[in-house]
Amino acid sequence: MELNADFSKRAVVHAAQIPWNASPMPGVDRRMLDRLGDEVARATSIVRYAPGSAFSPHVHTGGEEFLVLDGIFQDEHGDFPPGTYVRNPPETSHTPASAPGCMIFVKLWQFDMADRNQLRVDTSTQAFSPDPDRAGVEIMSLFKDGREDVALERWHPEVEVQLDAPGGMEVLVLEGGFTEAGEDFSTHSWLRLPNGSTSSAKAGPDGARVWIKRDHLACPPKAPMA
């Protein structure tokens, strides 16, 4: 399966406006944002767990990165409330579930295969810091290495934000909204800008809180070999 698979082009999905698709596990549905592959896929999705649902134990051969959007995500490592950011590197395993139900933003098969750094961040306990280079923008860094830069950002109401993407960029709206290229983005809208592009956004009257990743598209993405 290929969805938004031309990474040389701008891609947009207003996820709140599209239907849920069932996964192979009962009670677990997803809204696909981009995808290369079938059930083993390089994929970006919003996934919803119904109360009491679970996946079978499995290994993330290509790694898994997710942000809890709503509810409580659970596995044998603990309970993860809204705002928890997790990186499970290649070859890690778990048994995901949610007794109360939850929604997560998840990316699969997008790690450096040599990465073995496990990370869990409760963003509700972390502070934003003003960006010295962009007035009206505050940043909470989540992860950064030589390959990618992941953060939460808060954009003040009506502020204009430059979106330079020399190595590509993805933005997911968590709260509020913005306008980019004449298009309105609201909660769970997703924007992907290709390698080498530049754009600008204007936050809405309530500002915006976004998850943002940069530089990870410098090399053309490929479908998993597994």
| pLDDT tens digits along 54-95 | 988 889 899 999 999 999 999 998 999 999 999 999 999 999
User: Taking the C-alpha atoms of 4, 45, 176 and 85 in order, what is their torsion angle to the nearest 10 degrees?
Assistant: -130
115 and 131 housed in the same domain: no
Number of domains in the chain: 2
13, 14, 86, 151, 181 from 202: Cα distances, Å: 18, 17, 29, 18, 10
Range of the domain at 162: 125-214
pLDDT above 90 as % of the chain: 88
139 and 46 housed in the same domain: no
144 and 90 housed in the same domain: no
Backbone φ and ψ of 210, nearest 5° = -130, 150
Last residue of a domain, one of 122, 144, 170: 122
- The pTM of the full predicted model, rounded to 2 decimals, is 0.96
27 and 97 housed in the same domain: yes
Please check the confidence at residue 226 and state whether its pLDDT lies above 70: no
87 and 164 housed in the same domain: no
Last residue of a domain, one of 122, 157, 191: 122
d(CA 27, CA 16): 18
Q: Are 194 and 9 in contact (CB under 8 A)?
A: yes
**In the predicted model, what is the mean pLDDT of residues 126-155?**
97
Q: Read off the amino acid at residue 89.
A: P
pLDDT for position 34: 98
pLDDT for position 55: 86
pLDDT for position 39: 82
